[in-house]
A and B are shown apart, each in its own frame.
Chain A
Amino acid sequence: MEVLLFGIAKDIVGKTLYELDDVTDNPKSVLELKQYMVAQFPEFGKLSSLAIAVNSEYAADDVSLKQGDEIAIIPPVSGG
């Protein structure tokens, strides 16, 4: 599974694409992915908010993650 990273998420992880091991990590839902990322990179826990997009739409915690989904971490937005 690959996760796209933008803004401060990119700085926290140190790259624009983070690869999870499909066998050992493999979060099944948005909530599990958030918990995994915070465990790996505690800085995520200090942000004002942490959202996940699945196939370029905001996804609630109970949305399940499937092979081939485009997954992105959405840190607090600040456009405009």
Chain B
Amino acid sequence: MIEPIIEIVDNLDPGKVYQELSHPKSGGVCVFVGAVRDSTQGEEVVSLEFESYQRMALKEMRKIALEAAEKWTLNAVVVRHAVGAKEIEEPVVVVGASAAHRDACFQACRYLIDTLKERVPIWKKEYFKNKTVWVSAHP
């Protein structure tokens, strides 16, 4: 079983992820980077803030990484999320998978980010000019 790289950090550097995923048995490396967008449903976003229940978030991120590693036979996997105040264009999440062939790493990468969004206890607050909103809190 591989040991995934799981981290919650204040500042995220997407530049180092290739080195972490590079592997002699991997012909494909796939990375998704989530960043701060300047608007939500047409409304201008000034900045974002992320908060986590760190102990549980790290546990859930590790479970997701191990699920993906087993399902798609990955050689390396990274799940890293930033917390704190973030400005427009800043990277906030990086997930990546490394596998023998591209299909496996594309599918694994999609699973990593989609599942992270569903169940990892991290919360995003959007700051607009006149209000703040905890994303997805209300129907």
User: Which A residues are within 8 Å of any B CB, using their own CB?
Assistant: 4, 6-8, 11, 46-48, 53, 56-58, 72, 74-80
Cβ-neighbour of B137 out of A53, A58, A76, A79 (below 8 A): A76
Which A residues lie within 8 Å of B50 (CB)?
Answer: 79
Interchain CB contact under 8 A, A75 and B134: yes
Cβ-neighbour of B122 out of A47, A57, A79 (below 8 A): A79
- Which chain B residue lies CB-closest to A7? B123
User: Which B residues are within 8 Å of any A CB, using their own CB?
Assistant: 34, 50-53, 55-57, 59, 81, 92-93, 113, 116-125, 134-139
Which A residues lie within 8 Å of B92 (CB)?
Answer: 80
State in angstroms the CA–CA spacing of A48 and B62 once bound together.
Answer: 26
Cβ-neighbour of B56 out of A11, A57, A75, A76 (below 8 A): A57
Interchain CB contact under 8 A, A53 and B53: yes
Which A residues lie within 8 Å of B117 (CB)?
Answer: 77-80
State in angstroms the CA–CA spacing of A11 and B121 once bound together.
Answer: 16
State in angstroms the CA–CA spacing of A11 and B34 once bound together.
Answer: 26
What are 7 A-B pairs with beta-carbon distances under 8 A? Answer: A7-B134, A8-B137, A48-B139, A72-B121, A77-B119, A79-B81, A80-B117
State in angstroms the CA–CA spacing of A72 and B125 once bound together.
Answer: 19
Which B residues lie within 8 Å of A11 (CB)?
Answer: 134
Given contacts A8-B134, A47-B138, A56-B59, contact A79 B120 (CB under 8 A): yes
State in angstroms the CA–CA spacing of A74 and B93 once bound together.
Answer: 20
- Which chain B residue lies CB-closest to A16? B51
- Which chain A residue lies CB-closest to B134? A8
Interchain CB contact under 8 A, B136 and A77: yes
Which 8 residue pairs spanning A and B have beta carbons closest together?
A79-B122, A7-B123, A56-B56, A78-B135, A8-B134, A80-B117, A78-B124, A8-B137
Which B residues lie within 8 Å of A7 (CB)?
Answer: 51, 123, 125, 134, 137
